[in-house]
Amino acid sequence: MVKPAKEKGTDKRHLGDKWLDWDNRQGDLVSADTKVSVSIALAGVVAFVFVAALLALWYLVTPRLAEFHRSIPWIYGALTIGLSLFVLAIGASLILTLVTRKNFLLVRGSSRLLLSVVSFLQRLGRKFGIPADRVSNSLLKVNNALILTSTRFTGEEKILLLLPRCLTKETRKNILEIAVSFNLTHATCTGGEDARKKILLEKPDLVVAVACERDLVAGIRDVQGRIPVIGLANSRPQGPCKCTEIDINQLLRLLSRLGGVRPEQPAIDPATQA
């Protein structure tokens, strides 16, 4: 069951609002497709800095703590080392889960943890010359992989497919045909609040959302981990919020992996989506 999100603090954004700063000169116009390793590397840098800061703080405060009692620095040190090892273990379990496609996660909601600090990772990415949308794209792939790995799907789940308004007619037609053949509930959303209402109304077991990276990250954070959301990022050959497309075969592979049964029908050639 999906619990209503608290209205206080939720935005009433429209899909595409996140692109208001787009100036037609920014990169990644068509697609921000990026490997999972990019976000994992950035998260690794953050974890390394965090652990290094903890150990440095322990080293700096040890003389002062010893003035109170000689055992306090050792107690503080044990806690510091324990926390450091826990952080490293979380990272190792995440990487192991992604590589093996088996659930080794130590903490449920590891993907939500990464998405909760997406703004920080985006700023860090810019330091290395990685655009924000590429960081988000990589994080979304991590999110999808962890959901598929850590959640047991039987094929009986109610799946809600959320679509943006900006898809091309041909792409929308292909997606709706797939939705019918997989017996999916689907809806076109005009904004974040509209998407939340659709989720509350339908009470799905899983949401598959199609949108740009900016709206997907914002939408998944809106849901606040109450229900798993798999995000499929679109491509934007004519710019954001206009005649966007997705890889139809990617959607087919996803639904097949979720345990759906589809009538015999050949995969759709991406060339026919144009």
The alpha carbon of 72 is separated from its chain's Cα centroid by a whole number of angstroms, namely 41
- Do residues 226 and 5 touch, judged by C-beta distance below 8 A? yes
Q: How many CB atoms lie within 10 A of CB 187?
A: 16
Tokens standing for residue 237:
């050959």
Ordered by start, the domain boundaries in the chain are: 17-273
Tokens standing for residue 162:
């959320």
C-alpha span between 41 and 64 (Å, rounded): 36
Q: Mutual orientation of helices 132-150 and 36-66 as an angle, nearest 10°? A: 90
pLDDT means per 10 residues in the chain (274 residues)?
44 52 52 90 93 93 89 92 93 91 83 81 93 93 91 86 93 94 90 85 93 89 82 89 90 85 44 43
In sequence order, the β-bridge partners of residue 231 are 209
C-alpha span between 198 and 187 (Å, rounded): 7
C-alpha span between 236 and 1 (Å, rounded): 34
- Do residues 135 and 34 touch, judged by C-beta distance below 8 A? yes
C-alpha span between 175 and 164 (Å, rounded): 12
Q: What per-residue confidence (pLDDT) applies to 203? A: 92
- Do residues 166 and 16 touch, judged by C-beta distance below 8 A? yes
C-alpha span between 102 and 242 (Å, rounded): 38
Q: What per-residue confidence (pLDDT) applies to 268? A: 46
* Helix H or strand E segment including 168: none
